[in-house]
């Protein structure tokens, strides 16, 4: 069985191009994906017929690329709450709850976003491999994008590498940030004494975080953060380095007795934007602040 084909009608300006050139330059297909499609019986067709990718195309030719259906056989379907923000034939974008791990790992085989998504697809009679295009920490809530096929995953991954994906977060941090906005550029790497912890160090990997104050409170700040790079724990590390660690951050934050009672790091992925893998139009998806962060804001503002 195959997914719905990706279709391209050759325009006059592409006449005479090699088929593989059209697939690569116009549809952005990687060489790896093209090789995979060529090994599939109906992977690539020209006007309904299989052909070599070295054939020259003509204006009006109909190119179809088909990917075989896949299934996440190693993921147990589980009926869990799933908040869907956007879905089409290429993508599923959900609002991840805080506390949920994205993908099953050793010791966490159930209760993940993957378990919930696979169950959702099974109930609809659909078979896709679970392919998140990015990750969120277990305690971070918000927008999470999942590709439904290798092409969609490749297209968004390339945008990630080119830093053209917009990733914006909301965080509640300790202290009142004086500047209305700024950019943090401290390189990040593992702490040699605690390999699971990241630190800002001159020998680290480049990392860029832009911040903008959204609201100030007596002893805290609600800040919007936009990532240019995607280092592990980047926001948490950069905000600690700035002197404003996240509320509730057990690894990089203040001791519990110095922090408002909050069971997780106060971080929410509120906006994700990228070019749609098929239409190439800009797609921006937002997730509102969750109830627990709204309650935290009331608490730090002095409200009931």
Among 223, 238, 230, 242, residue whose Cα is nearest residue 181: 223
Q: Residues with Cβ < 8 Å from 188, sequence gap 6 or more?
A: 198, 199, 200, 201, 204, 205, 207, 231, 232, 233, 234, 237, 238
- Name the CA radius of gyration of the chain, rounded: 22
Residue 193, C-beta contacts closer than 8 angstroms, at least 6 positions apart: none
For residue 84, give the nearest of 27, 36, 124 by alpha carbon.
124
Residue 245's SS3 state is coil
Give the up-direction half-sphere exposure of residue 138: CA atoms within 13 A in the CB hemisphere: 13
User: What tokens does 77 get?
Assistant: 């379907």
Q: Determine the angle formed by the axes of helices 31-38 and 150-161, rounding to 10 degrees.
A: 170
**Does the annotation count 137 as an active-site position?**
yes
Q: How many alpha carbons fall within 13 Å on the CB side of residue 121?
A: 26
Catalytic residue among 14, 61, 137, 249: 137
Q: What is the rounded distance in angstroms from the CA atom of residue 61 to the CA atom of residue 49?
A: 11
List the catalytic residues.
137
């Amino acid at each position: 069985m195959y997914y719905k084909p990706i279709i391209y009608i050759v325009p006059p300006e592409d006449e005479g191009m090699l088929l593989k050139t059209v697939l690569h330059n116009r549809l952005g297909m990687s060489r790896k994906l093209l090789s995979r499609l060529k090994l599939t019986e109906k992977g690539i067709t020209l006007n309904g017929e299989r052909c070599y990718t070295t054939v020259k195309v003509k204006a009006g030719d109909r190119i179809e690329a088909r990917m075989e259906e896949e299934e996440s056989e190693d993921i147990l379907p589980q009926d869990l709450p799933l908040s869907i923000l956007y879905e089409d034939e290429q993508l599923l974008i959900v609002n991840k709850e805080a506390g949920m791990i994205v993908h099953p790992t050793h010791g966490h085989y159930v209760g993940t976003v993957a378990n919930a998504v696979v169950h959702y697809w099974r109930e609809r009679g659909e078979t896709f491999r679970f392919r998140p295009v990015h990750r969120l920490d277990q305690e971070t809530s918000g927008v999470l994008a999942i590709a439904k096929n290798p092409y969609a995953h490749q297209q968004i991954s390339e945008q990630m590498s080119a830093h053209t994906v917009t990733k914006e977060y909301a965080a509640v941090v300790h202290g009142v940030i004086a500047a209305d906005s700024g950019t943090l550029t401290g390189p990040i790497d593992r702490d040699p004494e605690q390999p699971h912890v990241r630190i800002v160090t001159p020998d680290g990997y480049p990392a860029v975080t832009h911040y903008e104050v959204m609201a100030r409170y007596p002893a805290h700040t609600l800040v919007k953060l936009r990532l240019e790079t995607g280092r592990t724990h980047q926001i948490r590390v950069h905000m600690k380095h700035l002197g404003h660690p996240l509320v509730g951050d057990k690894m990089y934050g203040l001791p519990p007795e110095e922090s408002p009672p909050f069971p997780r790091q106060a971080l929410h992925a509120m906006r994700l934007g990228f070019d749609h893998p098929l239409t190439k139009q800009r797609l921006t998806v937002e997730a509102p602040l969750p109830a627990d962060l709204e309650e935290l804001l009331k608490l730090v503002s002095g409200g009931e």
